[in-house]
Structure 1
């Protein structure tokens, strides 16, 4: 709080390298409440936020370093954008990114300080329509309920929102600390996930179940989370497994530690796994990215990492092109072709045979076919 008092004083008095922002909302006007296309309007506004270093231009803002817990005018991978405007009394309308990793969502609140600690703060998913309203401590979601954003308006450069609670009987609680566990709600689908994707019969030969888009997406959109069980290979890849058992155990896990930003301090050996007994949606359906089938070409998503509001760091799939509602989702698993399951090897050879001429294919497959 002491750091912010100094910074706030500087906002009103200092000249020079003070950070200010401009947005699509006028800085000197309050608009009427809007209830149409609320998510789209909020997303366009958020993407319009532009930091500037010009006095008497826009309004004061800052970057917030979540590791050092201090404000700064310098942007880097450890900082997130923070903006606020006086509302009434000492109350402020405040917005802050959760993380610099794209698609990690934002926090909104009306409060007297900038710590984002309180019982009535809002986490907003990257669709800018779905939210969790409840208790936060220093910007970390602790518990709350699902909500939808039902209205928005411009308020002197920032957006103000109204929310409506849904499914009040389901209390979401932070379980980011839980290792070797599916979390606290394995059979309750995440609020964002429920609106984004669904599981159906894949169109791929022998594809089994696949994942499908429940709405339209554009390139860069978060499509689905990959949470599951945070664990280590030693907990399920045993030395006495047969080859078939090894590939079965291996089938639904992702090398999460290798993918994660170092600032998250995820152990490099950590993986996210969906164990055999949890691979049916009747046993686990909180997140569904693990149901995405593989293609070598013609994919429409890619693997990524993201901060989830109550799971913390997790993997995800992100759209790489426009995806229409009802389309099946595909991602390249990117296995090592010299160390991969038999089905993957078979598909790779088929793919290469279509992609290159016979002479090249014969060279590439030499020593590869058993």
Structure 2
């Protein structure tokens, strides 16, 4: 970003409008304009150099503001991305050098770390919008989270997957427990003895393969929920239950599945759609009937949650280091240990010929 701007500045002589000193040099408040690049700087000058508060405005809608000293940004600077995201960082003589924090357009922290000579350096944390944190030492050559000793920390800020990552993607990792707070560096972990033989890899599903390791469960999910027969109504079959006391807003289960198009799902009989959920406008996640048994599939358990018109959970999006973009189940109220976890399925399907609702009878009855 800065290197490209410097090249533009060297190629094009800017136009100055503003106060000047007796020798004609920019002095006081003024504006520099690079006409070809549609770029400008507004701020204070002293003897021809940027000095004091100022801000660069770029063609793409981004900006960089802060305090300038001897023509260079020095101290705290704020870079505003075109989409409204912010990076507040320390600069030394125009270079990124020191701690930085990136914020989303809504003000949530997205990343925290350090720069050294314009590159990410040392310990880096990347926060996703679903509560997970990717953290570790950045690769000195690339400035990315690449190499061993990197961890994905689940939303509970305690459970983790520790191992080797490449450009923030999991290569291979093992379940672990974070022994320090997420803000403490260096972070300390202990491999989870209950999962000592489990090694996980990036395992995103396709339209034909739900998982390369369908019988390898998720340690975090297993600590939150279990599957059991619904004793209150045997006709419901199995359901998802709280293994421990769950707080409101807690991510408790994951919904992975085959990735099918809406047309593929809508064109087949409803009997084949018992375990489908919309992922986005183009994709549906499907757990086929052959994977309904825990003897065939335990990699994720979200499809085991039953429907209720008065649920205690809801579906939400989640980016999982193993499964990629999937759905999760999140509590919308406190749930006691042993209670069933339910969601509102929100079914909506109309026959194209008549525009009438074509829904399972059991759903129409319970809703």
Task: Please give the range of the TM-score, normalised by the shorter of the 2 chains.
Answer: 0.5 to 0.7
- What corresponds to 2:360 in structure 1? 341
Whole-Å Cα distance in 1 between the matches of residues 107 and 303 of structure 2?
29
Whole-Å Cα distance in 2 between the matches of residues 79 and 341 of structure 1?
41
Whole-Å Cα distance in 2 between the matches of residues 249 and 314 of structure 1?
20
Contact 1:173 1:184 in 2 (8 A): no
Secondary structure (helix, strand or coil) at the match of 2:174 reads strand
Q: Which moved more, 1:286-295 or 1:337-346?
A: 337-346
Contact 1:237 1:249 in 2 (8 A): no
Secondary structure (helix, strand or coil) at the match of 2:280 reads helix
Contact 2:88 2:100 in 1 (8 A): no
Between 1 and 2, higher relative CO (CA 8 Å, sep ≥ 6) is seen in: 1
- What corresponds to 2:219 in structure 1? 191
1:278 aligns with 2:291: yes
Q: What is the Cα deviation at residue 109 of structure 1?
A: 0.7
Aligned 1:1-370 pairs, distance under 5 A: 14-15=74-75, 17-18=77-78, 60-63=99-102, 75-76=104-105, 81-84=110-113, 92-97=122-127, 99=128, 101-103=129-131, 105-111=132-138, 113=140, 114-149=143-178, 151-152=179-180, 158-166=184-192, 167-176=195-204, 178-205=206-233, 206-232=235-261, 246-258=269-281, 268=282, 270-297=283-310, 299-336=311-348, 338-348=357-367
Unaligned runs of 5+ in 1: 20-50, 64-73, 240-245, 259-267, 349-370
Q: Which moved more, 1:321-330 or 1:304-313?
A: 321-330
Whole-Å Cα distance in 1 between the matches of residues 364 and 168 of structure 2?
45
Secondary structure (helix, strand or coil) at the match of 1:169 reads coil
Number of aligned positions between the proteins: 276
Q: What is the Cα deviation at residue 124 of structure 1?
A: 0.8
Deviation by residue 1:169-215 (Cα, 9 ceiling, x = unmatched): 32211122643211121111111111111001214422111100112
- TM-score, normalising length: structure 2: 0.66
Root-mean-square deviation over aligned CA pairs:
3.6
Higher-strand-fraction structure: 2
Unaligned runs of 5+ in 2: 7-63, 80-86, 92-97, 350-356
Largest Rg, 1 or 2: 2
